[in-house]
Amino acid sequence: MSALSAVTRFCERVTFVFLAVLTAAILLQLLLRNVFDYGHPGIEEIARASHVSLVFLAIPQLFRNGKHIRIDLVVNALPPRVARVLEAFAALATAVFCGFFLYGDYLFMIRNGNVASPALEIPNYLFFAGAYIGIGLLLLTAAERFVILLAGSRSGGAA
């Protein structure tokens, strides 16, 4: 198992913690509002931050395992070599998208990284850290997949 694979597996396990926190926060908010007629905006912020981290930290492992959302109707109808080239292009496009995403968010964080959330005063750079880590790992995973597919198409072997 490569180091990148180990890191994405670890992130997948961390997503279960965020799922538990998200569920607990929502249930607590429901209980407080419906039983005690009291709501706390900080609980909603915890749920939102957990949701963001849950989604983005899961993406690299889902991509690695081919479990991400994909439309493979065309790919399945193509000859294997052409399908491999198309899959390599998709992996490269994913990596390029991740680069643009990270660069755009870098520019955003230069100006707004220290802006705090209203209730808990969590700075943006911390609130969205799971998203940046997840997209960074997706970039590496997509680049790795591109290299594997490219090497497979050059050697004529399956990827």
pLDDT at 154 over 80: no
pLDDT at residue 116, as a whole number: 94
Whole-number Å distance between alpha carbons of 56 and 12: 10
Cα 20 to chain centroid, rounded? 17
Query: Given a cut of 80, is residue 153 above it in pLDDT?
Result: no
* 137 in Cβ contact with 101 (< 8 Å): no
The percent of residues above 70 in pLDDT, for the chain, comes to 95
Q: What angle do CA 77, 78, 82 make, to 5 degrees?
A: 160
- Model pLDDT for residues 58-90, shown as the tens digit of each residue: 999 999 988 887 777 777 888 988 889 999 999
**pTM of structure:** 0.88
Residue 22 tokens read as 């998200």
Question: For the chain, which residues make up each domain, given as ranges?
Answer: 3-155
| pLDDT tens-digit readout, 90-147 | 999 999 999 999 999 999 999 999 999 999 999 999 999 999 999 999 999 999 999 9
